[in-house]
A and B are shown apart, each in its own frame.
Chain A
Amino acid sequence: MLRESMQIKGRQVDVRGVTAGFDETVDIPNAAALVEFAEAVVMRDETRTAAARGALLAVLGEAGLVDAAAVIAAFHGFVRIADAIGIPYETAARGSDAPEIRERAGVNEFPRVRGEP
């Protein structure tokens, strides 16, 4: 979905950043601040989250901050349905997440794909 949303705007993204972390060259406005906020929330680090929230507020404004929080929260639900029900991951994004994309993104190292634990 990230790749598709970039391509339609004529941009490219290295999907390795999904697992390895994105560097400053990613062509998305305020990407570093967005990713820092997402990571802080997932890690449940209140101090880090507060700092990231403040940084994001400064660049996105209140509505942007609220929508960023809302999206991060949404994917705390999506992942739990996908992983607890065992829906076929090969069908994500209507099947556009081709094997080579999953490999490059590092998704093939996830336990569900590797058949662990």
Chain B
Amino acid sequence: MPTQSFAGSPFPVRPDLTEAHERAWAAIAAPGTWLTGAQRVAVSAEIRYARDCAHCARIKAALSPNTVEGAHDTLGTLGAAQAELVHRVVTDPGRLTEKWSASMLAKGVSEGEYVEIVGLVAMVMIMDTCHRALGLALRDLPAHAAGEPSRYRPPGARKKAAWLPLVEPEDAVESDGPLYPNPKAGYIYRGLSLVPQAVRDYTALANCHYLPGEYVYQFGTSIRAIERPQVEILAARVSAMHQCAY
């Protein structure tokens, strides 16, 4: 596997996109808020491994995911509940439920770990999917950095609008650090806000792929090499194929 993003690409790749990927991998390798760097890289490895899990394939094919018995094929580096969280979010996100989410917490995944892992899934899926779409080998996982998680929990986080606690813009405090592009930031920005660093890491990456927040509602403006309706037809079709209602 190559050790740099987009290595060997026959197409020129925007420098900001390459830099965003490298920054994201460095962030993944560093100590997080609830997980160490080693745990975050282990989660990343499990994300890749989950795609070929036979149990996940049976769940995906079943009319109801709750009717399938068995165990995931895992690398064995995560706890059972963490592995279940990774596998289901990677392979069948459209059929997750609040009850399932609560079961992950009941099995010992903390709220912070849950949100941090979801953020890692989102980031690794974005980067690996971009490579696959362009026919490129996946970048090698980074070596983890030493250090301890910050264990920072935003004081304004509350469980209200979603299955996990969020920080609404009016509840953000200075110690959270920068969170939202504006006070009306949509829930897709707020989703990871129980772990503010995950918001920052994820948003920096996603903005380079889709659009920075200030352009999202400027429908007449395109800052990409394709028109805005072309961007949105891709977005809509991919979301629908994942059965995502958001």
Interface of B is mostly: helix
Are A117's CB and B95's CB within 8 A? yes
- Give the A-B pair count, Cβ closer than 8 A: 276
In the docked arrangement, what's the CA distance between A30 and B205, Å? Answer: 27
With beta carbons under 8 angstroms apart, the residue of B132, B219, B225, B240 that contacts A67 is B225
Are B118's CB and A70's CB within 8 A? no
Are A5's CB and B228's CB within 8 A? yes
Chain A residues touching B, range: 35 or more
Query: Which of B125, B133, B210 neighbours the largest number of chain A CB atoms within 10 Å of its CB?
Result: B133
With beta carbons under 8 angstroms apart, the residue of A50, A80, A117 that contacts B135 is A50
- Check A116/B209 contact, CB under 8 A, given A9-B229, A85-B118: no
Are A35's CB and B237's CB within 8 A? yes
* Contact segment of B35-43, B74-82, B145-153, B188-196: B188-196
What 1/0 flags go to A2-41 for Cβ under 8 Å of B?
Answer: 1011111101010100110010001011110011011101
Residues 76-117 of A at the B interface (beta carbon under 8 Å)? 76-89, 91-94, 102, 105-107, 110-113, 116-117
Are B230's CB and A68's CB within 8 A? yes
Chain B residues touching A, range: 35 or more
B132 to chain A, nearest CB (A): 7
Are B64's CB and A79's CB within 8 A? no
With beta carbons under 8 angstroms apart, the residue of B63, B121, B164 that contacts A80 is B121
Are B130's CB and A1's CB within 8 A? no
Are B184's CB and A94's CB within 8 A? yes
In the docked arrangement, what's the CA distance between A34 and B240, Å? Answer: 15
Q: Which residues of B contact A (CB under 8 A)?
A: 11-14, 17, 51, 63-66, 89-90, 93-98, 101, 115, 118-119, 121-123, 125-127, 129-130, 132-135, 161-164, 166, 184, 186-188, 190-192, 202, 205-206, 208-210, 216-217, 219-220, 224-246
Q: Which residues of A contact B (CB under 8 A)?
A: 1-2, 4-9, 11, 13, 15, 18-19, 22, 26, 28-31, 34-35, 37-39, 41-44, 46, 49-50, 53, 57, 60-89, 91-94, 102, 105-107, 110-113, 116-117
